[in-house]
């Protein structure tokens, strides 16, 4: 095989491999960003209501509940 032809084939294949590696890196970063976004959204979910009718405790009720738990 002609040495110039071999060098050209090597150059083309190297370019293709670098492009594949770049795309794989982009995919990896995209997946990591998606996982991080899911993790961050999980921390900011709506709070669970304290009562069956969907209401939440008021601040004085929370303080009273903590006081009762501390006394026990």
Q: Where are the domains of the chain?
A: 3-71
- Kindly state the average pLDDT of the residues 23-45: 82
Residue 13 has pLDDT above 90, yes or no: yes
The band of 18, judged by pLDDT with boundaries at 50, 70 and 90, is: very high
| Residue 7 pLDDT | 93
pTM, two decimal places? 0.45
- What is the secondary structure of the chain as a DSSP string? --HHHHHHHHHHHHHHHHHHHHHHHHHHHHHHHHHHHHHHHHHTPPPPPSSTTS----HHHHHHHHHHHHH-
- Kindly state the average pLDDT of the residues 41-62: 71
The band of 35, judged by pLDDT with boundaries at 50, 70 and 90, is: confident
């Amino acid at each position: 095989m002609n040495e110039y032809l071999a060098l050209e084939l090597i150059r083309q294949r190297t370019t293709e491999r670098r492009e594949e590696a770049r795309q794989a890196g982009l995919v990896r970063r995209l997946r990591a960003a998606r996982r991080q976004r899911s993790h961050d959204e999980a921390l900011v979910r709506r709070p669970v209501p304290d009562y069956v009718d969907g209401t939440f405790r008021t601040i004085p009720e929370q303080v009273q509940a903590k006081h009762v738990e501390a006394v026990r």
